[in-house]
A and B are shown apart, each in its own frame.
Chain A
Amino acid sequence: MDKRARKFVVIGGGLAGLACTMKLCEAKAEVVLVSYQAVKRSHSVCAQGGINAAINAKGEGDSPDIHFYDTVKGGDFLANQPLVRDMCFQAPAIIHLMDRLGVAFNRSPEGHLEFRRFGGTLYSRTAFAGATTGQQLLYALDEQVRRYEHDGQVTKLEWHEYLEAVIDHEGVCRGAVLHDLRTGEIFTVGGDAVVLATGGPSQVYGRSTGSTVCTGAAATSAYLQGAKYANGEFIQIHPTAIPGHDKLRLMSESARGEGGRIWVPKKAGDTRSPRDIPEGERYYFLEENHPLFGNLVPRDVASREIYDVVFNKKMGVTGEPMVYLDLTHHSKEYLDDRLGGIIDIYEKFTGDDPRRVPMKIFPAVHYSMGGLWTDFKDDGHGLIDHQSPRNQMTSITGLYAAGEADFQYHGANRLGANSLLSCIYTGLMMGPGLIQYAKNQDKVFENVPHQVFEDAADKWKDRIKQIKSMRGKENPYGLHRELGDVMMEHVLIVRENAKLEKALLLIDDIEIRFRDIHCLDTTHWANPTPSFINQLHSMIHLSKIITVGALLRNEFRGAHYKPEFDLEQPHDFDPHEYVDYLEQKHYGEIPEGAFPEDHLAYMKRFEANNENWLKTTIAHYGEGKPHISYEPVDTSLVPPRPRKYE
């Protein structure tokens, strides 16, 4: 039995899936790597800005512990801290590894790695490879996995779709049901464990900064099989995207990192060309409202400020939902060198040249902090025990999740350039635990009754057959757009319970109409329609997880902004006061007059709110809908405190 190679099934070839595959191969395991399309075309290629690691290359006094603090603070303390801390401590080694794998990271004058500043921190901590960091990182991992493929350790099943986990009578995941997207064949593969590295769910919103395959269908399918889905309501809105019919293309945060300034004309509805509007008549609202962080406030803050300027103050550019993102104060050479790729994107898709005119942008759905619930084991010293099979395991034994598909690391809001890190980190970190899991199991999948696999495949053969026989009136692609519109209108930046309740009714309506779908194409070869219909079914369930989670969470935390429950931090409040407050409370009574009265009242509100809401949302599937419960968050390392970005 010990001679048998360990066998794993990895679904998804983005950064997380490829990193995991590479790590497993290095440990001599065999991997079946499954992806919708060629893994080299995975969504991770879209990431432009960079990847964080506190290497302190500029002598600013940065350290992994500060990176850790910035990350949990940015996430409004909703992240389990040992995992975040471990990630931040591994980050420098990860960047050096990626550098050794050949990523063309920009260099400093001395030939070391160059770093720049990103939102939510005061340090230059973001390594970058031109304006295509995600593409460069993904290619480097893709190349390593190609090497293992060449050597026979990896079998790639591209143009295959993961439908569901094969779960045996003991509730253990033993493999996956796959759908060959060319032949239409449905079959199973067995593995010692299955890893879902299937990315985010932004297609639930129809148009977003995400790619077309980011439907979240794989994670939702695990949820429908009983896995816990966590913190679904935390959807990050990126403040700066280029409006478009097919996609809302991201304008990277690096545009702000390199000094991009956000403004609107002071006169609402001003029709002058932006270049004719003098400095004095421009309202640089982020700089004015946040003198310390300026244009580099975290994403949630920036999105809300833009929303406020456009919808409450009615100051959008020419009256439309758009604001300027201005780079024109930099020289053409500087911009080409530092931001060439993203400037090209803007020019290509709008026809305007950002070197000469300010860009027009508006917020868009960008990232899901929520995802499949995954476990971890800390080492008792604020880091992670890397050998533990619990790391990254979902609530289904033997089914793991990694990358954007899991819910850890970013709490209520993700900091820029932390996701590429968390994706690579999870992929690498979970490797040893997966091997341990395979070693420890008392039964290998080959000894699981055949029937288990056959039943799983048969279920899906029937399901696809049933979808193909759907002869109703609804166009699945049109229905998807409608679902997206519902989510965009009701469950976006500003959340109100009345609107969320309405969204649930509208989703129910879409679910009813789903039954009346017309399967437009019933041919057998390379037919994407039945699988899209199945994905739409998942997206409907996922939209419920997001909306119900948002409805029940009566507070304002990170990306989840419910103005009704804003704790109204006094303007002159200093978060350090809260640390003093906690300390004084610890030693007994708070002396009278120790804090201004309104500050004290605010701190009490803050504390009470955390008692109620500093917890992870868990969605459990049952009878067609999510059942919500809550779990405590591990805040053992830094006590939660109010956020403030001055």
Chain B
Amino acid sequence: MASDNIQIKVKRQDGPESKPYWQEFEVPFKPHSNIISCLQDIQRNPSTCKGERVNPVVWECNCLEEVCGACTMVINGRVRQACTALVHKLDHPITLEPMSKFPVVRDLHVDRTRMFRNLKKVKAWIHVDGTHDIGEGPILPDEERAKRYVLSECMTCGCCLEACPQFSKDNNFLGAATFAQVRLFNAHPTGKFDQEQRLDAVMGEGGIADCGNAQVCVEVCPKHIPLTESIADVGRQTTLQILKNLFFK
């Protein structure tokens, strides 16, 4: 770093219907700092490089350890979490933009309700008899548990959808994250019981057949969820389901 300051360009937008505009900020360089601490510095001194007092930048964050999924944004053209974007590893000046596949609420904060709605569509839960004490859960080999575990780390961050050429604001494509959740629940001994309903949901409009197999989703997933493998697996499950529907219904 030549100077002790870093330049950050932020794409701002006052509301869902407003026009975006760019502003440039300068914050002190600190070793090992991340984009979150830069945004916090801007909060503490919300002036642009031109010395203009502006409203602090609005973004979403919570855990700051890449498990809550809140702080996803596009940093230097790449979708990722702001908390793990270490300043000394980024090219400068740094650009920050909101994700483009979700409606902007304000500045870098977007509305990802659609992802949660999709989880409802595919019934991403296990239907239990009740919460009362009826003893142990199913006995499972640890390998099977481990396969589900990697899928269950999905934090609904939206990176995979931002990167996906098939997913857009004006279609209903369910997207890679949702397909992986279908696989997760279908792989559970009790979750399996609702497998058909889940597969029906992914066979409908915006379902798995619309996936163009571009495989970019898996490259951007911060949790290394095996997305393409999951899509293939759920694809096979739907094929079987179609055959079953043909012959037995």
Contact B62 A523 (CB under 8 A): no
The digit string for A106-139, where 1 denotes a CB below 8 A from any CB of B, is 1111111010000000000000011010011001
Give Cα A132 to B32, complex, Å.
24
Most chain A CB neighbours (cut-off 10 Å) among B15, B86, B125 = B125
Binds B, one of A63-71, A346-354, A413-421, A490-498: A346-354
Known: A102-B191, A149-B120. A40 touches B33 (CB 8 A): no
Q: Produce 1/0 per residue, B122-155, CB < 8 A to A.
A: 0111111011011111111110011011001101
Q: Determine, out of B43-51, B94-102, B159-167, the stretch whose residues face the partner at the interface.
A: B43-51
Answer whether residue B233 sits at the interface, using C-beta atoms and an 8 A cutoff: no
B84 pairs with A101, CB closer than 8 A: no
Residue B34 at the chain A interface, CB threshold 8 Å: yes
| Residue tally, chain A, CB below 8 Å to B | 69
Chain B's interface: helix, strand, loop or mixed, by majority? loop
Specify which of A38, A99, A102, A520 is in contact with B112 (CB 8 Å cutoff): A38
* Closest residue of A by beta carbon distance from B70: A41
Complex Cα gap A478–B64 (Å): 19
Flag if B125 contacts A520 (CB, 8 Å): no
Q: Is B6 an interface residue (CB 8 A)?
A: no
A478–B44 touching, CB < 8 Å:
yes
Task: Check: B11 CB closer than 8 A to any chain A CB.
Answer: no
Interface hits, A444-498 → B, CB 8 Å: 475, 477-478, 481
Let me know if A93 is at the binding interface, CB within 8 A.
Answer: yes
Are B106 and A525 in touch, CB under 8 angstroms? Answer: yes
**Interchain nearest-CB distance for B22 vs A (Å):** 18
Cβ-closest chain B residue relative to A41: B68
CB-nearest residue of chain A to B18:
A525
- Whether B135 pairs with A526 at a CB distance below 8 angstroms is no
| With known contacts A37-B62, A41-B62, A107-B142, A132–B136 Cβ distance under 8 A | no
Asked whether A523 lies within 8 Å of B32 as measured between CB atoms, the reply is: no
How far, in Å, is B1 (CB) from chain A's closest CB? 16
Would A245 and B32 be within 8 Å (CB), given that A37-B62, A132-B153, A143-B125 are in contact?
Answer: yes
Chain B residue at smallest Cβ distance from A92? B133
Q: Is the CB–CB distance between A93 and B124 below 8 Å?
A: no
Q: Judging by beta carbons under 8 Å apart, are A136 and B152 in contact?
A: yes
Q: How far is the CA of A528 from the CA of B112 in the complex (A)?
A: 18
User: What residues on B are CB-neighbors of A504 within 8 Å?
Assistant: none
Inter-subunit contact A139/B152 (CB<8 Å)? yes
Given known pairs A41-B70, A100-B126, the reply for A350 and B32 (CB within 8 Å) is yes
Using an 8 Å CB-CB cutoff, how does the interface string of A143-166 with B read, 1 for contact, 0 for none? Answer: 110110110000000000000000
Cβ A45 vs Cβ B67 within 8 A: yes
Residues of A within 8 A of B14 (CB): 523, 525
In the bound complex, residues from chain B placing their C-beta under 8 Å from that of A213 are 62
Q: Is B218 an interface residue (CB 8 A)?
A: no
Is the pair B40, A477 in contact by a Cβ cutoff of 8 Å?
yes
Return 22 A-B CB contacts under 8 Å, by A number: A40-B68, A40-B155, A41-B68, A45-B68, A46-B63, A110-B139, A111-B141, A129-B152, A143-B124, A182-B105, A211-B63, A246-B83, A345-B65, A345-B66, A349-B65, A350-B32, A428-B131, A477-B56, A520-B46, A523-B55, A527-B58, A529-B56
Give the top 7 A-B pairs by smallest Cβ distance, nearest first. A99-B137, A143-B125, A526-B106, A93-B133, A111-B139, A104-B149, A521-B55
